[in-house]
Structure 1
Amino acid sequence: MLKRYLLAHRPFIRECWGTSEDLGTREEDILAILKELDVNTSVHVVLSRRSAEDQSTLLGNLLKGLFLQHDGMVFTDVTTGYGVAVAAREALRRLGVRPEHSRAAIQGFGTVGGGAALYLSRQGVRIVAVADFEGCVFSDEGLDIERLLRVRNDKGVVDRQRLSGACRLGLREDWLSPEVDLLVPAAISGAITSEHVDRIQTRLVVEGANMPTTEEAERKLVARGVRIVPDFIANSGGIGLFGALLFHGLPPEPATILAFLDQTISGSVHRIFDIAEQEKISLRQAAHRLVEERRKEMLGRGLP
């Protein structure tokens, strides 16, 4: 199925857009299939506009960067979740909440949710609930995230037989109910609907998944004063990895790339909070304003 999809989209990948892994796919599978289809990378359109020498250097750095190991994970499995954690940290600070004094619940424990949980926990955030495909795991004292990562399978499902006695189990949607400072939907689209709003007890939602909050749910939550950091800001760490290597010429070194992502995503979060406060609009509306600002900057510099 993936090969048929990429074959159908080969003209677009050659001419106008790039692609990457998402739910249920892996970067290495995409690259292997594209090579069969005579397209060297998933960002062919970017490389094709560079000189042969630049193409060789950039492609080499990209392939090294995509398959680096960091914190026991492939680097592409690190960057999106790391960026979500950065966005959450800065948003909490804007709300006057110190990360080390905060509680969070996360939906999803795969690439994005697992990475976000790891880096949030390292910032001192107490993760009290994690939901995967089989249900929800709770601990009021805070889950041992590094242990949970060791006992999850490749689909992000935690082995219940290897949990500590301090953990409680619940249903998949129960991650929405705890009283927390932060909710991170990091699994699927449409995870938070208007039917869930009355259960939610948080001041902040940071979207790790693509489009996890429906429009109606967002309207109701915003009306209650809940801040929602939108997906295209919060989960931009994955595409930021490509940007760091292809557009900013950074070396394929985890520390350098993570520092770049931290600076970039932190700046974006503070900027949308500033715009939202000045214009009396939602964070999503502010994020769209920010995108337009940056588009105009790029056009002004003659970038396509």
Structure 2
Amino acid sequence: MTEVIRHGSVREAARALGLPASLISRRISDVEIRYGVPLFERLPRGIIPTEAGLAIAEYARQQIDETQKIVDYLSNRKAHRVNQISIHCGDGFVEDLMETVMMPFSDLHPDTRVRITVGSTDEIRQAVIDGTSDIGLSYNMEDFNGVSSIVSTHKPLFAILSSRDITDSTHRLTIDDIVGRKLALPTSSHGIRKLLKNIELNHGIHIFPEMESNSFRLLKTFVMSGRGITFMPRFAVRAEIDQGRLVAIPIESHLCEQASVHLFVRSQRTMSVTMRRLINFMKDNLESLSPGATRLREQVVRLNSGA
């Protein structure tokens, strides 16, 4: 069920599972006939789950979580154990994660292996919902269906300029200041682009980038070359600001000021001890989740004993 929903096709699910498509179709049909409830709606280009199909898929995911929980427990009984946790995040979080979380956390918990995958805002949310990743860390996420927010923190969007192109870093840029400049922007599936699209609609303007990339390193290189500007939260360019290579300038826009970072997991996810421990460490140490701005909401996931 979960694979068919993920791929939107029995044939693609069968290929992923290494099973005959006829076997999967037959098992789905058997359940539909037995209970008299359709699990999928057949469309010309694939299938989508019905409400009953989604309920069964969610039940399956919960069973997988419970199974993983007992597997983790049994693994922890071994003398040499390795716990595995996966994080899916935007490219702008990578340096913050490595410096403030991954290296110190690994030193404290050498029995835990963490996998980090970089993706767009849409990809991060979907990976968490599918169970491909345990924890999501995203910027300016708008759709919270299927996920449960652990922490949300205001982290404004700034205009990022080369330090050579500005003499006064204390002033603010207006939306009119941005129009006409050469821009390098993340791709359209990133939360930053979604925010800029809302600005375009509100101000009746069109923001056209000279370059698009899902690599923040390329975007920063574009700016440091003096070619133009980009937009990022300050934590994503902390190193370059400290080195005097880039400057973060506030933008006169309530949309930019209200942009947020979100740490989240799948809704109704059963969290292991290791997962809770890592989440708490991220909450306490990530600059991107620091209380320098207002905490919007926080779900208590503390362990009763010293996590």
The two structures have a TM-score, normalised by structure 1, of: 0.30
Q: In terms of Rg, which structure is larger?
A: 2
The structure whose RCO (Cα within 8 Å, separation 6+) is larger is 2
**More strand, by proportion:** 2
**More helix, by proportion:** 1
The two structures have a TM-score, normalised by structure 2, of: 0.30
